Amino acid sequence: MLKGLLLDFYGTVVEDDDAMMAAIADQVAARASVPVSGSDVATAWAAEYEAVASGPRFRSLRDSAMASLASVMAEVGCARDPAALCAEQFRYWRSPPLRPGTAEFLSRVTVPICLVSDVDTDDVRAAMAHHGLAFAAVVTSEATRAYKPDRAMFGRALAALGLEAHEVLHVGDSLTADVGGAHAAGIRAVWVNHRGQSAPRDAPVAYEIADLSELAGILR
């Protein structure tokens, strides 16, 4: 019997920052000293971002974002201030728009929810307050000192709800961080496929939805 939900936040409850990162990448490309496109900068930034965040020393998401952008800017010869550019992204994290289906779902769900988000705690709390959202528990990467798919994130969420892995579903939009991480922790995963992607055949997806409004049917 399902007794609770673990719920990703950015890209699942609220819109992700993909468009914001693309806009920042375009600004870097426009001021680069070497020929480079915004998409090239965005790809390099995403790769460096992941490398920094998954490094041996835990770094906050804000620190990871700014350090990785600064590294890419140095490579392409952009002299702008990475802190000024990332400030736009940081503001977005604190007031992102809700994804389609979120308000409808949260108004009807009856089981307790633990938010499980790769983010700094103050930013997600600000975003929740912006939309008047409340959850039974909130687990962040900053508080856990780890990022999904690290099992520590899911273990802390289960402990927060006082539930076992077989009693919950984890819902998120990342095949690696959410689906893979939950599966490794023994939790069934619901993939929020809002980009219309095709999952590998061996991806451990228990259910696939486009937005949270479709989750109601699964919970019934």
Across the chain, which has 220 residues, the per-10-residue mean pLDDT values are: 96 96 97 97 96 94 97 97 96 97 95 98 98 98 97 98 98 97 98 93 95 90
pLDDT value at residue 5: 98
The answer to whether residues 114 and 138 touch, using CB atoms and an 8 Å cutoff, is: yes
Query: Under CATH, which architecture does the 4-15+96-219 domain have?
Result: 3-Layer(aba) Sandwich (3.40)
98: β partners = 14
**Residues belonging to the chain:** 220
What are the DSSP E strand ranges found in 85-155? Answer: 113-117, 137-140
In the chain, domain spans: 4-15+96-219, 18-94
Q: Which residues, including other chains, have CB under 8 Å from residue 144's CB and lie 6 or more apart?
A: 150, 152, 153, 156
pLDDT at 26: 98
